[in-house]
């Protein structure tokens, strides 16, 4: 066996500290709720286009010592999630047809502030809530998002609790926000009752309604 071949096998014989650090980072990413939030349907196309815009590094004549480039399948999944989150932060997924509605806390949570970004898709209306200073729902309770019509009819758009810390929440509406312009967040008990409670903690509606 040549000295070069022996050196290569030695460098790839087992995971070093850098590999363990990568795996720890991957576990942390996979454990975050935001990693699994469903993005808008345009994300895949824009992600592919963004990745294609970068040149693929050329093949190395000789691998660097103590570094392995073969990652397990979980690492590849996590890497794709990281790319999605990073590109989203850089505005790759921005859309000109997105409507942003300011929402504010009621007398129950006067310090809460936030906004709802609304975008129409082929499967419904994608709604992203970015909220600050809304405390986590206590055990046995949860928050529920609603869209409300001017006739007083409400449709649930999803639930969340914030027990993992404040972060963006992605909700979905099957009804047109033009017909249901008001956005509410209520505090609900885990009692199986599907109707909205009277504990409305946040409200908002577009300026043109």
pLDDT digits (tens, 9 = 90+) for 172-208: 999 999 999 999 999 999 999 999 999 999 999 998 7
Sign of CA dihedral 88, 94, 98, 101: positive
pLDDT on residue 172 = 96
Chain-centroid distance, C-alpha 106: 26
Is the pLDDT at 50 greater than 50, yes or no?
yes
User: Starting at the edge strand that comes first in sequence, how are the strands of the sheet with 200-204 ordered?
Assistant: 154-160, 141-148, 182-189, 200-204, 99-105, 113-121, 124-132, 169-173
CATH code 2.60.40.200 region(s) in the chain: 99-204
Answer yes or no: are the C-beta atoms of 198 and 166 closer than 8 Å.
no
Between residues 57 and 133, the one the model is more confident about: 133
Question: Which of 1.10.287.3610, 2.60.260.20, 3.30.230.10, 2.60.40.200 is the CATH number of 99-204?
Answer: 2.60.40.200
pLDDT on residue 67 = 46
The pTM (predicted TM-score) of the whole model is: 0.56
pLDDT grade, residue 12 (50/70/90)?
low
Q: Mean pLDDT of all residues in the chain?
A: 76
pLDDT on residue 164 = 84
List beta partners, residue 103.
Answer: 114, 204
Whole-number Å distance between alpha carbons of 198 and 154: 12
pLDDT on residue 125 = 96
Answer yes or no: are the C-beta atoms of 12 and 62 closer than 8 Å.
no
Q: 32-36, 83-87, 138-142, 164-168: which has the minimum mean pLDDT?
A: 83-87
pLDDT grade, residue 34 (50/70/90)?
low
Whole-number Å distance between alpha carbons of 42 and 94: 10
């Amino acid at each position: 066996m040549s000295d070069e071949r022996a050196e290569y096998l030695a460098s790839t014989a087992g995971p070093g500290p850098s590999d363990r650090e990568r795996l720890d980072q991957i576990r942390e990413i996979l454990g975050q709720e935001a990693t699994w939030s469903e993005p808008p349907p345009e994300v895949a196309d824009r992600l592919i286009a963004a990745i294609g815009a970068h040149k693929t590094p050329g093949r190395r004549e000789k691998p660097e010592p103590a570094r392995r480039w073969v990652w397990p399948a979980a690492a590849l999944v996590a890497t794709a999630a990281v790319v999605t989150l990073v590109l989203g932060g850089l505005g790759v997924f921005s859309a000109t047809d997105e409507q942003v509605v300011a929402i504010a806390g009621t007398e129950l949570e006067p310090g809460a502030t936030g906004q709802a970004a609304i975008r129409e898709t082929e499967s419904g209306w994608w709604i992203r809530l970015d909220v600050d200073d809304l405390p986590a729902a206590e055990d046995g309770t949860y928050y529920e998002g609603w869209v409300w019509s001017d006739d007083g009819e409400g449709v649930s758009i999803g639930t969340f609790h914030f027990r993992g810390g404040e972060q963006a929440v992605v909700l979905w509406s099957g009804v047109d926000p033009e017909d249901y312009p008001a956005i509410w967040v209520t505090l609900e008990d885990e009692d199986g009752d599907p109707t909205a409670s009277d504990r409305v903690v946040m409200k908002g509606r577009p300026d043109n309604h």
